[in-house]
Amino acid sequence: MADVKVAEKSGITFGKKERKLLTDPLSDNNPITVQVLGICSALAVTTGMKNAAVMAVAVVFVAVLSNFFTSLLRNSIPKQVRMIVQLVIIATLVTIVELTLKAVDFESYKQLSVFIGLIITNCIIMGRLEAFALANKPYESILDGIGNGVGYGIILLIVAFFREFFGKGEIFGFKIIGPTNEFLLDTTTSTWMGWYASNNLMVLFPSAMFVIGILIWVHRAWKPHLVDIS
Amino acid sequence: MHSTRSVITFVLIMTLLVALALAGMYSGLKPIHKKNEALYSKKATLSAISAHLPTQPSAMAEDEVISLFNNKIEQKVLNMKGQEVDASVVESAGYPGGKAENIDMAKEVKKPLDEQLLPLYVYNKDNGEKLYILYVRGKGLWDEIWGCVALEGDLNTIAGVAFDHKAETPGLGAEIKDNKSWYSQFTGKKIYDGDTFKSVYVRKGGAKDDVYEVDGISGATITADGVTEMLERGLEYYEPYLKSVKS
Amino acid sequence: MELLNIFTKAAFIENLALSYFLGMCSYLAVSKTVKTAFGLGLAVIFVLGITMPINWVINTYLLSEGGIFATDLTFLRFILFIAVIASMVQLVEMVVEKFSPSLYNSLGIFLPLITVNCAILGGSLFMVSKEYNFSESVAFGLGGGFGWFLAIIAIAAIREKIKYSAVPPALRGLGMAFLLTGLMGLAFMSLMGIDPAAF
């Protein structure tokens, strides 16, 4: 794990270390495929790319702000109630996300239903607070939050892409391929797209497990140092 | 180490701040939430007659939906005997506003059968014809399913349907809402054979009758059976009223 | 009978782990051996069994409009639910430590993990959206916990055996665990649609 304490520096700079905070979670220390955190919500919301995108934005928001606040309070939080204080911070932010989403995009709110609430127990957020924000300054913690939130979001979108494309023949709700030509706007130029019968298995829950499993496989075959020997 | 007292003060101050902030935000956003909810259910009602509307309900702006409801749609509330009831009856049943749009069907189906109220929308087309939108509610595989069924002016031919569900499996049971080529099969089917009520049957393995049956959904037999049951029972509730309009 | 239905349904048909894939973090992290999986599974049954009724009481009597404050306080639901779960876990930890040190030694390390197990919070949120009453929520909690227990024991047993198979190196461990869980989920889908009331 790359959870080293970033050297104490005065002022806000953006050097090698800060860049590492942002880019590490995208691949080498990805929250889903390497740290194995936050799987629950990754599976349920990846039936379509729109839901995945909304979820990714929500997680980035909660990750960044909870990291920031925890880091601000890191010296005043009493040790005995550390967990509860962290959970209250996260739960508050998640409630804010829920209330906002309900006002801004009611359709997505309906579709994501209980899974918005489950961001609270998304282990990425709690895990980053414990492993990083409690020991580092606010600025670094924000960068760590962005990195991990985005790293999570990328995997979410990749999984959702495969599930929506092969499961419904759509991307972001727009028909791309399908069993007949009738859904195409211009049938003269793109007739070849009307041959695909949607694979309903891809929309079902277990397919998310398969897609993530295969992603991990590909990721580790590409970066062999991530392979766990156990 | 912090003392117990400072721990308690910390937690109390924090909880207070958080609760205040959330309460402020909640009461600030509540009107928007209410408006969104009302709009959502109005759009769901309209999607049963989307074939007769100039634009798709999902693409409509809010004022468009509201002006449709104000100018072209009559709202009625029926009791189980098929009689229209006044707004005061609806209000005393627990729905301030007293209109069909105020009725919460999820609460209504839990009441004893003869006390239930039935919402009914009548859409007046530009050419003077009418479309009747009825509400049905039943059980799918996991949880409740519900929908709107629009009837043509003959009160027999289905003009369109829109189903929704609480927790059906995406890709299987959820197809009742998502799969347009499945639910558009209902358009043109009939619910009466002469004077006898027949409803529409969702047939596993393919419809055997062009007038009273539609194809099932593969992998979602229970949800499909739920739809059949919901239509048969739900539409029959409206029968006394439909008869009184016809005669 | 109704309660038994809810129990069976929550345990097998709407299995929290294999139908909704909740609680996956600890499910994947602690399923390397059957022994540890057993401990975590028991702890989950226990915590789900207590937090569900407590959260039901909080939701019905404090938060909803019919409760003692007579105002809609549902926006505090997440905070209160998670606080109940966190404090229950802490309480259970202290009680177990005091009265049964041997149980504490085998269970202790898993208890803090349970707070962030989405199956627990997810169970409470499902309970609200399904509008269960008090006894139904107890049955749902115990059934859900039992189902999760079965699921983690099953994957742990498979993972113990699969060590002796020639899995491609990059797929070893985590990748294989995902694929296996997916297959188990497919198997559990065949239980979908069984109506426990029919027995």
Residue C6's nearest CA partner among C43, C66, C55, C52 is C52
Q: How confident is the model at residue C8 (pLDDT cuts 50, 70, 90)?
A: confident
CB of A200 less than 8 A from some CB of B: yes
Residue B82's nearest CA partner among B212, B198, B195, B246 is B246
Q: Give the full edge-to-edge strand order of the sheet including B144-151.
A: B73-78, B118-124, B130-139, B144-151, B158-165
Read off the pLDDT of each residue in A147-158 and give the average, rounded to a whole number.
90
Mean of per-residue pLDDT scores for chain B: 87
pTM: 0.83
B residues 207..236 contacting C (CB < 8 A): 221-222
Using the predicted structure, report yes or no on whether residue A200 has a pLDDT greater than 70. Answer: yes
**Which CA distances in Å does B60 have to B53, B68, B102?**
10, 10, 21
Say yes or no for a CB contact (<8 Å) between A79 and B2.
yes
Between C77, C129, C170, which is nearest A227 by CB?
Answer: C170
C residues 83..112 contacting A (CB < 8 A): 83, 86-87, 90, 112
For A121, the closest chain C residue by CA position comes to C116
Q: What's the gap in Å between the CA of A12 and the closest CA on chain C?
A: 33
Read off the pLDDT of each residue in A80-97 and give the average, rounded to a whole number.
87
CB of C196 less than 8 A from some CB of A: no
Read off the pLDDT of each residue in C27-45 and give the average, rounded to a whole number.
85
Helix/strand/coil for B75: strand
Amino acid, single-letter form, for residue B3: S
For C19, the closest chain B residue by CA position comes to B169
Say yes or no for a CB contact (<8 Å) between A106 and B26.
no
Say yes or no for a CB contact (<8 Å) between A205 and C20.
yes
Q: What is the DSSP string of A98-153?
A: HHHHHHH-HHHHHHHTHHHHTTTT-HHHHHHHHHTGGGS-HHHHHHHHHHHHHHHH
Between A41, A117, A216, which is nearest C175 by CB?
Answer: A216
Query: For the segment B163-198, what is each residue's pLDDT rounded down to a tens digit?
Result: 998 877 777 788 898 888 889 899 999 999 888 888
Can you tell me the ipTM of this complex? 0.82
Q: What's the gap in Å between the CA of C185 and the closest CA on chain A?
A: 5
Using the predicted structure, report yes or no on whether residue C138 has a pLDDT greater than 90. Answer: yes
Residue C18, pLDDT score: 85
- CB contacts of B166 in chain C (<8 Å) are 129
Say yes or no for a CB contact (<8 Å) between B14 and A84.
no
Query: For the segment C89-128, what is each residue's pLDDT rounded down to a tens digit?
Result: 888 788 878 887 877 776 656 677 788 788 898 889 888 8
Residue A2, pLDDT score: 43
How many whole angstroms separate alpha carbon C70 and alpha carbon B61?
35
Read off the pLDDT of each residue in B225-229 and give the average, rounded to a whole number.
92
Q: A52 or C113: whose pLDDT is higher? A: A52
Amino acid, single-letter form, for residue B133: I
> Which segments of C12-133 does DSSP mark as H helices, in order?
24-29, 34-57, 77-99, 101-107, 111-115, 118-130
Say yes or no for a CB contact (<8 Å) between B15 and A88.
yes
Residue C171, pLDDT score: 84
CB of B22 less than 8 A from some CB of A: yes
**Which CA distances in Å does A41 have to A212, C20, C78, C187?**
13, 10, 16, 21
CB of C129 less than 8 A from some CB of B: yes
Residue A1, pLDDT score: 40
Q: What's the gap in Å between the CA of B204 and the closest CA on chain C?
A: 15
Q: What's the gap in Å between the CA of A88 and the closest CA on chain C?
A: 6
| Two structure tokens written together for C173 | 């461990």
Say yes or no for a CB contact (<8 Å) between C75 and A40.
no
CA angle B147, B150, B156 (to 5 degrees): 120
| Residue-range domain boundaries for chain B | 33-246
Residue A183, pLDDT score: 57
Query: For the segment A31-45, what is each residue's pLDDT rounded down to a tens digit?
Result: 777 777 777 777 778
Taking the CA atoms of residue C172, residue C175, residue C176 and residue C182 in that order, the dihedral angle to the nearest 10 degrees is 180
Q: What's the gap in Å between the CA of C6 and the closest CA on chain B?
A: 12
B residues 89..128 contacting C (CB < 8 A): none
CB of A83 less than 8 A from some CB of B: no
Helices and strands, counts by H and E, chain C: 9, 0
Residue B187, pLDDT score: 92
CB of A75 less than 8 A from some CB of B: no
Residue C150, pLDDT score: 93
Amino acid, single-letter form, for residue B41: S
Q: How confident is the model at residue C193 (pLDDT cuts 50, 70, 90)?
A: low
Using the predicted structure, report yes or no on whether residue C192 has a pLDDT greater than 80. Answer: no
CB contacts < 8 A, B to C, total 17
Q: Are C143 and C15 in contact (CB under 8 A)?
A: no
Query: For the segment A159-178, what is each residue's pLDDT rounded down to a tens digit?
Result: 999 998 888 888 887 777 77
- CB contacts of B37 in chain C (<8 Å) are none
- CB contacts of B224 in chain C (<8 Å) are none
Using the predicted structure, report yes or no on whether residue B102 has a pLDDT greater than 80. Answer: yes
CB of B39 less than 8 A from some CB of A: yes
| Two structure tokens written together for C147 | 């189902």
How many whole angstroms separate alpha carbon A82 and alpha carbon A74?
9
Residue A154's nearest CA partner among A27, A1, A2, A21 is A27
Query: For the segment B14-40, what is each residue's pLDDT rounded down to a tens digit?
Result: 888 988 998 899 889 989 988 888 888
CB of C192 less than 8 A from some CB of B: yes
Q: B142 or B235: whose pLDDT is higher? A: B235
How many whole angstroms separate alpha carbon B83 and alpha carbon A108?
38
CB contacts < 8 A, A to C, total 140
Helix/strand/coil for B162: strand
Q: Which of C75, C87, C130 to mutate to test the interface with B (most CBs of B within 10 A)?
A: C75
A residues 156..195 contacting B (CB < 8 A): 167
Read off the pLDDT of each residue in A86-115 and give the average, rounded to a whole number.
87
CB of C79 less than 8 A from some CB of B: yes
| Two structure tokens written together for A29 | 């220390």
Say yes or no for a CB contact (<8 Å) between C129 and B166.
yes
Query: For the segment B75-86, what is each residue's pLDDT rounded down to a tens digit?
Result: 989 888 888 888
How many whole angstroms separate alpha carbon C19 and alpha carbon B173?
15
- CB contacts of A95 in chain B (<8 Å) are 22
Using the predicted structure, report yes or no on whether residue B161 has a pLDDT greater than 90. Answer: yes
Residue C143, pLDDT score: 94
For B141, the closest chain C residue by CA position comes to C193
Q: What's the gap in Å between the CA of B55 and the closest CA on chain A?
A: 17
- CB contacts of C121 in chain A (<8 Å) are 117-118, 120-121
Mean of per-residue pLDDT scores for chain A: 81
